[in-house]
Amino acid sequence: MADGSDRYVLSPAATWSRDGDELRVFSDEVLLVRRCPEAMFAWLEAVSDEPLGLPVPRGGNTDAIVRTLLRLRLVVAPFDRSWQSSAWRNQVEYFAALGLDAGAAQERLRAAHVTVLGVGGVGGAVLAELVGAGVGGLTLVDGDRVALENLNRQYLYRRCDVGRVKVDVAREWVRERLPETEPIAAMETITTSEALVPYLREGGFLVVAADRPASLPEVCAQACLERGVSMITGGCGLRVGSSGPLIRPADVPVFLASLQEAKAVTGTAVTPMTASFGPVNTLVGATMGRDLIFGILGVSAGTTSHRVELLGTALTRECGR
């Protein structure tokens, strides 16, 4: 229990209502407090208009209520409000509701550098999440041009972009949304770790969203090991997609060993699947984007790896591979 000098605010993810002497606090679940002390109602009313927070009420029956509110993160420490007039206002509030140092988290995203290898259906969806989150450093690598058959799932591109270099169009898309950043664009098909290394920044992150050559995961892992870069991979099948896990440099040798073991058992397809469906690419890409953003912030996404079920009435994740 915090001492009385600590100040708190209602979580940005919570709201509350009063019915007589009953208090309900709404978030992912509903907390019902019967015979709530008047002091608790008065504090909630006052703190709604005080961004710097107020000391929580003490004594009587309030202590147990406050402990519950803190445990469920329905009240949190005051957070950085300097982002209130920015595009990331709601995201900073989301981070605060998670219990993070919200302003520092947003600054960490702004300072991060991510290389996106492949800006197609999956990579484009990851890129959209990174731009929306305010990641400040981006390098885009892809050797293709926009084709008409891309447009069912690659939403960065328009019909008028057909024939243009993908990374050029993607860079323009990023600049429109993050004018304060200057993304690097490279039209190149990566086949060796030596070719990839110049596009990685030490301590940064790599999104592997290209699907050829078949050896690309190993190529990328070797480059990340050399540069001290964390990487995340993903891809789409017909019924099951894969997302993650985020692999830190120290875990790359284990990842390489697991790839070799899997190949020994199942073999490796030489060419990628040609069938595609837009929502599937977006679902996998958004999942990768979430896990990568949380990884940049040091927040656990809840699993170390998962499959994404692409058919059925619900999205399910299975731990392990």
- The pLDDT tens digits for 56-69 are 888 878 999 999 99
Q: What is the pLDDT of residue 250?
A: 94
Q: What is the pLDDT of residue 60?
A: 77
| Confidence band, pLDDT 50/70/90 cuts, at residue 259 | confident
**Helices within the chain (DSSP H only):** 38-47, 62-71, 89-97, 102-111, 121-133, 166-177, 193-196, 216-227, 252-266, 278-297
| Confidence band, pLDDT 50/70/90 cuts, at residue 307 | low
Q: What is the pLDDT of residue 3?
A: 46
How many Cβ atoms are within 10 Å of 203's Cβ, its own excluded? 12
What is the spatial distance between Cα 168 and Cα 145, in angstroms, rounded to a whole number? 9
What is the spatial distance between Cα 4 and Cα 48, in angstroms, rounded to a whole number? 19
Q: What is the pLDDT of residue 237?
A: 87
Is the C-alpha dihedral spanning 27, 28, 31, 32 positive or negative?
A: positive
CA nearest neighbour of 96 among 109, 82, 79: 79
Angle at 209 between CA 207 and CA 213, to 5 degrees: 120
The structure tokens listed for 311 are 């058919």
| Confidence band, pLDDT 50/70/90 cuts, at residue 311 | low
How many Cβ atoms are within 10 Å of 152's Cβ, its own excluded? 12
Q: In the predicted model, what is the mean pLDDT of the chain?
A: 91
CA nearest neighbour of 68 among 37, 99, 31: 31
What is the spatial distance between Cα 292 and Cα 138, in angstroms, rounded to a whole number? 13
Burial class (CB in 10 A: 0-12, 13-18, 19+), 232: buried
The structure tokens listed for 191 are 């086949």
What is the spatial distance between Cα 96 and Cα 105, in angstroms, rounded to a whole number? 9
Q: What is the pLDDT of residue 273?
A: 85
Would you say residue 238 has pLDDT above 60?
Answer: yes
Contact assessment for residue 207 and residue 224, using Cβ atoms and an 8 Å cutoff? no
> CA-CA distances (angstroms) from residue 104 to 80, 179, 194, 318?
8, 21, 34, 32
Q: What is the pLDDT of residue 1?
A: 44
Would you say residue 289 has pLDDT above 90?
Answer: yes
Measure the CA dihedral 302/304/309/310, to 10°.
Answer: 90
Would you say residue 299 has pLDDT above 50?
Answer: yes
Contact assessment for residue 305 and residue 244, using Cβ atoms and an 8 Å cutoff? yes
Angle at 127 between CA 246 and CA 256, to 5 degrees: 30
Would you say residue 113 has pLDDT above 60?
Answer: yes
Give me the amino acid identity at 17: S
Would you say residue 164 has pLDDT above 70?
Answer: yes
